[in-house]
Amino acid sequence: MYSTEIEVRTGSEAVVHDLTHDAEAFLRDADAADGLLHVWVPHATAGLAILETGAGSDEDLLTALDELLPRDGRWRHRHGSPGHGRDHVLPALVPPYATIPVLGGVLALGTWQSICLVDTNLDNPVRTVRFSLLAG
């Protein structure tokens, strides 16, 4: 299995960060043919989503998460910035992993699909993402 980590700076605001180009670069470096690309975010407050970006879906996801997981004082997990407990619930809804088929060295994503890091944690501006290729 070929594997590597990258560092992603997400800043101090909730973001949906497109990782698709990073994944494609990883596959080129791996000289990939067929297999499975596994993407893993080893953080308790971030997740991965496959969705359309640039047409509003990324902002819609952040809005939906704000409505579902408000940044307020209801959370028992209380360290960090106000409402940070909701960030620890995020990976139960937006999991910290994704597996994408690779065919002929190319991600088998749909026309408008992208691999995205979802980070609502205002306290941690740097994230690690691991790409692993299981060759077929």
Give pLDDT tens digits for 82-105: 889 999 999 999 999 999 999 999
Q: Domains of the chain (ranges plus CATH)?
A: 2-135 (2.60.120.460)
Q: Which residue has the higher pLDDT, 21 or 79?
A: 21
Three-state secondary-structure class, residue 107:
strand
Give pLDDT tens digits for 38-93: 999 999 999 999 999 989 999 999 999 999 999 998 999 888 888 899 999 999 99
Question: Structure tokens of 35?
Answer: 């297999």
- What's the sign of the alpha-carbon dihedral 93, 95, 101, 102? positive
- Confidence at residue 64, expressed as pLDDT on a 0 to 100 scale: 97
- Confidence at residue 81, expressed as pLDDT on a 0 to 100 scale: 87
Give pLDDT tens digits for 101-123: 999 999 999 999 999 999 999 99
Alpha carbons 37 and 44: distance in angstroms, whole number: 21
Alpha carbons 106 and 117: distance in angstroms, whole number: 20
- The answer to whether the pTM exceeds 0.75 is yes
- Confidence at residue 96, expressed as pLDDT on a 0 to 100 scale: 98
Return all residues near 90 (Cβ < 8 A) that are at least 6 apart.
Answer: 45, 46, 47, 65, 69, 118, 120, 121
